[in-house]
Amino acid sequence: MPWMSEADICEMYKSAKDQRAQINILAQLNACKTETIRNILLKNGITPVEPRKVKHHSKQRKLWSVEELLQLQHLINEGKNNKELSERFDRSIGAIRCVRAKLNPEIIANPSENIKIAIEIFKNNGGVLLNETA
């Protein structure tokens, strides 16, 4: 239950320059949820501003498997550019650029090396987390 009266909550909301932010402020001042403030506003005939929608990235962050790293190194050795690699692996160009900069060519280029050693060295050099189920 809010500490302020419903009339005070409505008045502060209506007079606020940024009404979206004011809902959060009123909830903090009254030690309640923003939904409680929204309900009070609705009950008093005020339609509150909708909260901002959370933006979702089109390409969710995916873990790199050992096979993908080996294939990536092979395609880099073939002369593929970041755009081609991005399309091939369905990753952003920035993700390709980041992993490409962290690859250890001596280990990744030699598939006969012990994969566990390659994973450890890659992690220790600040590489991205790998899906180690391979």
Q: 77-134 pLDDT, tens per residue?
A: 888 999 999 999 888 888 888 888 777 555 444 555 545 555 665 666 555 544 444 3
- Alpha-carbon distance of 127 to 114, in angstroms, equals 17
Instruction: Report which of 19, 17, 54 is spatially closest to residue 37, judged by C-alpha positions.
Output: 19
Tell whether pTM > 0.85: no
At a CB cut-off of 8 Å and minimum separation 6, what does 27 contact? 33, 34, 36, 37
Q: What is the pLDDT of residue 56?
A: 60
Q: What is the pLDDT of residue 103?
A: 73
Strand, helix or coil at 44? coil
Reported as a single tens digit per residue, the pLDDT across 30-54 is 999 999 999 999 999 999 988 877 6
Domain ranges across the chain = 6-43, 64-131
Instruction: Report which of 58, 71, 57 is spatially closest to residue 134, judged by C-alpha positions.
Output: 71
